Amino acid sequence: MSDIAKSEGVQQLWSGTWTSLLLVSNPIIQHFVYEQMRSWSLQEKLRQIQRQGREIQSSSLSPAQAFVFGAVAKAVATFLTYPLQLAQVLLRLQTRRIQISVTEESNQTTEQLDTIERSYTGTIDCLRRQFASGGISALFTGMDAKLLQTVLTSAFTFLTYEQVLVLVGRIYDTVK
């Protein structure tokens, strides 16, 4: 840390902090969307039961609902935060490329090294340039692979979560 502070300045120690803080919103959005769909579904289930005059048997989602709601919630969260994730990756890749080119070509003069500059000055610059190079679609380059990975994981996570809730509810009812 002291090397970075000396060579690049103390402010570089906090480089990327705002982007990382914004990306914390991804799981928040995911859980919010999931809970909204869950709440809506359970309220609808309760209304149907009340109309039919039946007794409430379960206040949980079906496994299929949990799976679909988990997948949709993650897809929404990923869609909303993906441009920031892309910018973060691009900024990291360019920093690594600069470090590699400097170490591989250490026989360059100081003037030559100064010409190897970062192509992006920060997150906003990266997003602006991505947009300028290809419009909205450029901000979502590679999102299909990200969705495939994260949506399935999330769907199974929420499926498991709902099943654990059912199990805990049954155990609680037996102990009562």
Residues 132-170 pLDDT 10s: 999 999 999 999 998 988 999 999 999 999 999 999 988
50/85 Cα distance (integer angstroms): 45
Q: Calculate the CA 156 to chain-centre distance.
A: 16
What's the pLDDT band for 112 if we cut at 50, 70, 90? very low
Residue 112 carries which DSSP code? H
85/139 Cα distance (integer angstroms): 10
Q: Is the overall model pTM greater than 0.85, yes or no?
A: no
Q: What is the pLDDT of residue 114?
A: 43
Residue 10 carries which DSSP code? G
Q: What is the pLDDT of residue 58?
A: 63
Q: What type of residue sits at position 52? A: Q
Domain ranges across the chain: 16-93+120-170
Number of Cβ atoms within 10 Å of the Cβ of 126? 23
Q: How far is CA 2 from CA 10, 14, 98, in A?
A: 9, 13, 20
89/142 Cα distance (integer angstroms): 11
Can you read off the two tokens belonging to residue 102? 């400097």
